[in-house]
Amino acid sequence: MSKKEKDIAFFVAFCIEEYRAAKGLTGEEVMELFAKYGVTDYLSKCFEPLHTQGRQWLIADIDEFIDIRKKEEV
């Protein structure tokens, strides 16, 4: 695993844990939510701009991403 791949993995794990804590969810619930709406792929693909942002901004961005995906389901 390259350094960048490790950095991305750590970043995604950080986002999962921070989202879990902010929303009062279990890790399993967050993983199901992220899998359903493609959040993990989004975080990985957009690592470069996202990893420079703060915790609160990331949580708000993830919420916005999920909301957009939910609307696409309709």
pLDDT digits (tens, 9 = 90+) for 7-48: 999 999 999 999 999 999 999 999 999 999 999 999 999 999
Residue of 4, 6, 35, 1 whose CA lies nearest to 16: 35
C-alpha 44/C-alpha 66 separation (Å) is: 15
> Given a cut of 90, is residue 69 above it in pLDDT?
yes
Helix 55-73 × helix 3-23 angle, to 10°: 80
> Per-domain residue ranges for the chain?
3-73
**What is the residue type of 9?**
A
Confidence (pLDDT) at 66: 98
Confidence (pLDDT) at 74: 76
